[in-house]
Amino acid sequence: MATLALVRCPANVLPTISRGSCSPAVLAATLAPIQQRKLHHAIIPKGKGGRSSSSGIAATVFGATGFLGRYVVNRLGRMGSQIIIPHRCDQYDLMYFRPMGDLGQIIFMEWNARNKDSIKRALEHSNVVINLVGREWETRNYRFEDVFVSIPQQLAKAAREAGITKFIHMSHLNADIRSLSKYLRNKAVGETAVRDEFPDAVIMKPSEMFGREDRFFNYYANMRWFGNAVPLIALGKKTVKQPVHVVDVAKAIMNAVRDPDANGKTYALVGPNRYLLHDLVEYIYAVAHRPFVPYPLPRPLYHYRTAS
């Protein structure tokens, strides 16, 4: 039986490579200077895990002040990540973020979506960029084309130029360029714009999200168009929904952040069960102990409202 013996040699007697005993290619590779990349201390993992350690993730979360953003920031803070939150809101709207991470791990930064230098400063020291910017209605300053196409395209371009390897973009499950909804059409165009600028981007397409302060269940619960009646197309009996909890969407984003194989993929995020919209709204009103009176909404009126 052959025996392998490992002998430890002092540092001063280690074999050296002589110029005459190796090929020029090996000699050039050996003598070439090693390029040292300057790393920010936030992306060096250390600690045993948890909010008081460093996960090695420095994430810039655009749109963090929205419904989903709060859960994403909370998950990032729990795993010991440094988080940069670009914002345009009042300081009082940022107070609930402070307990989500350890001291000094959450950094707030004012930004202007139309200022390229502001975007570059927000992701200067990050290795992960998450775009959660979105809105369900248009304003005079920000149309759907701005929110879902122009801004994500600028963020993806800035992330690519900064050498960032992980870019996560939030879209919608029903995003389709052929949709009658202007909201969903621009969502689809935004996906293509992000892919063109950042081919390895991870695109998340969730269905309707529910949770505290959501705009799905609360939308129907607070509907007051026709008194106590709830307007639904075909009484909601031909519309199928598969809602997903907002915590599950935040977990999916965390999995994509840590999984290198997720780059360049598109994920559809849905809940485990499908329901008729009529049954969901009826359940909401039963929980609220209020009478449920469905009203058949004319389809042309609905298309006019969504297309405008």
pLDDT digits (tens, 9 = 90+) for 208-245: 999 988 999 998 888 866 677 888 888 899 999 999 99
pLDDT number for residue 163: 93
Query: Which stretch of DSSP H or E encloses residue 60?
Result: strand 58-62
Model confidence band, residue 5 (pLDDT cutoffs 50, 70, 90): very low
The owner of tokens 């990050």 is 126
Burial 143-178 (b: 16+ CB within 10 A, else e): ebebbbbbbbbbbbbbbbebebebbbbbbbbebeee
pLDDT digits (tens, 9 = 90+) for 153-167: 999 999 999 999 999
**Comparing C-alpha atoms, which of 90, 59, 62 is closest to residue 75?**
59
pLDDT digits (tens, 9 = 90+) for 79-128: 999 999 999 887 888 888 888 988 889 999 999 988 999 999 999 889 99
Span of 24-38, 67-81, 103-117, 241-255 with lowest mean pLDDT: 24-38
Which residue(s) pair with 59 in the sheet? 83, 128
pLDDT number for residue 39: 55
pLDDT number for residue 307: 54
**Comparing C-alpha atoms, which of 71, 197, 43, 57 is closest to residue 129?**
57
Q: Tell me the average pLDDT across 178-187.
A: 92
pLDDT number for residue 35: 39
Percent of the chain with pLDDT over 90: 55
Say whether pLDDT at 66 is over 50.
yes
Other CB atoms within a 10 A radius of the CB of residue 225 amount to 9
pLDDT number for residue 120: 92
In order of 32, 282, 288, the CA distances from 28 in angstroms are: 6, 74, 76
pLDDT number for residue 9: 42
Say whether pLDDT at 187 is over 60.
yes
Give the gyration radius of the chain's Cα atoms: 26
Contact status, residue 197 vs residue 153, Cβ threshold 8 Å = yes
* Non-local CB neighbours of 218 within 8 Å, separated by 6+ positions: none
Which residue(s) pair with 106 in the sheet? 83
pLDDT number for residue 3: 45
User: What is the three-class DSSP state of 256?
Assistant: helix
pLDDT number for residue 229: 83
